């Protein structure tokens, strides 16, 4: 049976490794699929919006609905002041969505299934929140850790927990996406492995091999839902976190 | 010239009735609120990781501090316990619908206020 983890292996596409300052910076399969995502999204959005028709065509409707989806998400979660973050949020959404969706193509590589990729995205959001928050609100930014309406004698307990839950944001944000993607893809591979193994066994068991195959086709549909949902959750949580840089509650 | 009313012409009358039927059908089919509810979609997907992630994050922070100050395993243990508490605290916040962001600001958002008001009917959505 094929190793279900094998699909996440990162390898250099060139024989000669490109090493710079002790770091292996070769062009890997992960880089290839990131490049494909960038090229695909840029080309798709440019082509779709090329004609700018008043009555949009199929592609334009699709591009506009993505725009509307993200714009709506920002308006609902950050407010009208969040418009300045639109380029960031939109890019983030497209990067994560395409990472998940391109991973559903056979023989492709899911770059969001590596924690270093999702952690880099999550830390980007984290540092943007901290830096812009401190720049805009100054010392007042730390009032984030004091939830309103908490009695003073609970403060020593609540404040460390609030600080802690602020610090672990990048961890939860990245682990959520990474774990969902890796678990889904391993599950698909394991069920495919069952199917192949049973079909190779011969006799009546061969027919039984259709079971995991049918189940796998259901799982693939489910995996598409997860791919979209996780991109959505990642983006919406980024919105919620970025809200702190726009306005502090109370 | 007075505006043409549907009563003037049986043809217009028929058209008016058809338009009304079509509009009613459209409004029933197209309910903008029926789409994914921003606040509820993915809450389930969020909750589990919130608990696990807090412990992992706590362990990482504690391990980092220990590694830097060579005090292993003091901070590792402290931060794991703090991580567990934080995880449950965040789960509590999600279940009580007070928002997942730091602080209780979510409580003050208008949509939550609507939901908490006695006139709000969940079935209306």
How many CA atoms, within 13 angstroms, populate the side-chain half-sphere of residue A85? 29
pLDDT at B8 over 90: no
* HSE toward the beta carbon, residue A186, CA cutoff 13 A: 10
Residues 6+ apart with CB under 8 A from B12: B4, B5, B6
Name the pTM for this structure. 0.79
Q: Which one of A168, A249, A250 has the shortest CB-CB distance to B53?
A: A168
Range 49-78 of B in CB contact (< 8 A) with A? 49-50, 52-54, 56-58, 60-61
**Smallest CA–CA separation between A46 and chain B, in Å?**
28
Q: What are the residue ranges of helices labelled H in chain B?
A: 10-29, 43-69, 74-95, 110-116
The 10s digit of each residue's pLDDT in B35-91 is 445 455 566 667 778 888 899 999 999 999 999 999 888 999 999 999 999 999 888
Collapsing DSSP to helix, strand or coil, A9 comes out as coil
Q: Quote the pLDDT of residue A205.
A: 85
Output A16 or A186, whichever has higher pLDDT.
A186
By C-alpha distance, the chain A residue nearest B55 is: A168
- Residues 6 or more apart whose CB falls under 8 angstroms from that of A182 comprise A8, A113
pLDDT of residue B67: 93
Residue A104 has pLDDT above 60, yes or no: yes
Q: Count Cα neighbours of A175 within 13 Å in the Cβ-side half-sphere.
A: 18
Which value does ipTM take for this structure? Answer: 0.74
Per-residue pLDDT for B113 more than 50? no
Task: Give the range among A123-132, B59-68, B96-105, B112-121 with minimum mean pLDDT.
Answer: B112-121
A152-169 confidence digits (pLDDT tens) = 888 888 888 889 988 899
Please give the residue of chain B at the shortest CA–CA distance from A178.
B49
Residue A157, token pair as written in the block: 């307990």
Average pLDDT over chain A, rounded to whole? Answer: 89
Cβ contacts of B53 on chain A, cutoff 8 Å: 168, 171-172, 175-176
Does A171 lie at the interface with B, CB-CB under 8 angstroms?
yes
Residue A76's pLDDT band (cuts 50, 70, 90) = confident
């Amino acid at each position: 049976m094929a190793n279900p983890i094998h699909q996440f292996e990162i390898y250099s596409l060139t024989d000669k490794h490109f090493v710079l300052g002790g770091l292996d910076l070769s062009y890997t399969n992960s880089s290839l699929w990131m490049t494909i995502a960038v090229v695909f999204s840029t080309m798709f959005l440019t082509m779709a919006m090329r004609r700018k028709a008043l009555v949009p065509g199929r592609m334009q409707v699709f591009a506009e609905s993505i725009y509307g989806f993200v714009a709506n998400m920002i308006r609902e979660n950050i407010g009208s002041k969040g418009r300045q973050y639109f380029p960031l949020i939109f890019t983030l959404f497209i990067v994560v969505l395409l990472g998940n969706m391109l991973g559903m193509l056979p023989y492709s590589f899911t770059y969001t299934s590596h924690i270093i990729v999702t952690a880099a995205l999550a830390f980007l959001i984290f540092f943007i929140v901290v830096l812009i928050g401190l720049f805009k609100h100054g010392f007042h930014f730390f009032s984030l850790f004091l939830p309103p309406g908490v009695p003073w004698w609970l403060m020593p307990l609540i404040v460390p927990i609030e600080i802690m839950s602020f610090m672990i944001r990048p961890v939860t944000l990245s682990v959520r996406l990474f774990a969902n993607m890796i678990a889904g893809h391993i599950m698909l591979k394991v069920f495919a492995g069952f199917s192949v193994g049973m079909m190779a066994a011969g006799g009546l068991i061969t027919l039984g091999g259709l079971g995991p195959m049918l189940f796998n086709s259901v799982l693939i549909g489910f995996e598409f839902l997860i791919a979209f949902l996780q991109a959505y959750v990642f983006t919406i949580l980024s919105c919620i976190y970025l809200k702190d840089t726009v306005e502090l509650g109370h | 010239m007075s505006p043409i009313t549907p009563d003037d012409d049986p043809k217009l009358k028929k058209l008016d009735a058809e338009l009304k039927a079509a509009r009613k059908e459209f409004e029933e089919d197209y309910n903008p609120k029926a789409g994914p509810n921003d606040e509820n979609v993915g809450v389930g997907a969020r909750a589990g990781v919130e608990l696990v992630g807090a412990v992992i994050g706590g362990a990482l922070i504690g391990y980092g501090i220990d590694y830097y100050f060579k005090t292993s395993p003091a901070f590792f243990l402290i931060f794991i316990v703090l991580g567990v508490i934080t995880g449950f605290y965040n789960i509590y916040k999600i279940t009580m619908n007070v928002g997942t962001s730091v602080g209780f600001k979510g409580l003050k958002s208008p949509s939550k206020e609507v939901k908490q008001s006695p006139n709000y009917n969940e079935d209306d959505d």
